[in-house]
Amino acid sequence: MSSTHPIPPSPGQVSGLEQVRGTIAAACARAGRPPESVTLVAASKTVSAEALVPAIDAGLRVYGENRVQEAQEKWPGLQERFPGLELHLIGPLQSNKARDAVALFDVIHSVDRPSLCRALARQCAAQDRHPRLFIQVNTGAEPQKAGVLPDEADAFVDTCRGVHGLDVRGLMCIPPAGEPPEPHFSTLAKIAARNGLDLLSMGMSGDYATAIEHGATHVRVGSAIFGARAYPAAQPTHP
């Protein structure tokens, strides 16, 4: 059960979505990229299933959840009503939730440690499901934040692929709060390039245009679409 009250449907949601789409298009134009090169992942944590319907009706098909349990509660019914939705896990994943995550999510953005790799590899084989995976990199080396350190990322990519046979497609980062995000986006792009990874999950509501200009292929945007959300003080901040 979510620790915050589910957000009800909002008449401003669709206008927020259109603003975000316009910002993505403008950032892509500045970067000399086609808008379709960026996937908008709507960060739908705490947003109720019914509140998501206006965005779905407006053509938004890709959503990101932070917690497996919350996603299990609301997405199977939505996916039955609206075929073709794509679901991403954009929050941290406990190894004991790997079975449920592999069963539910199309993409997992938060692979960050060997024990999780082992659990994911077992579940991918057992379920014959292979979600696309992003490795989370702790570009700011923040002790309270998940993710592999930048100087350990190359070896971790090799381990994920070579030892565990995981379908690693890209990298993800969350820059430190209060710091300019550009150096962190550049670091992530360089690590991806030297490892032959094409996908970069970076940029949230406050900095997704900048992320696009630094090569983001996936931006995780929540409050700019659904409105501001209040989180408990002890809870880590995610998109």
pTM of the model: 0.90
25-79, pLDDT tens digit by residue?
999 999 999 999 999 999 999 999 999 999 999 999 999 999 999 999 999 999 9
Query: DSSP label at 97?
Result: G
**Average pLDDT, whole number, for the chain?**
92
Alpha helices (H) along 60-169: 68-81, 98-104, 114-127, 153-158
Comparison of pLDDT for 188 and 5, the residue scoring more:
188
Predicted pLDDT of residue 235: 43
Task: Give CA 228 to chain center in angstroms.
Answer: 18
72-113, pLDDT tens digit by residue?
999 999 999 999 999 999 999 999 999 999 999 999 999 999
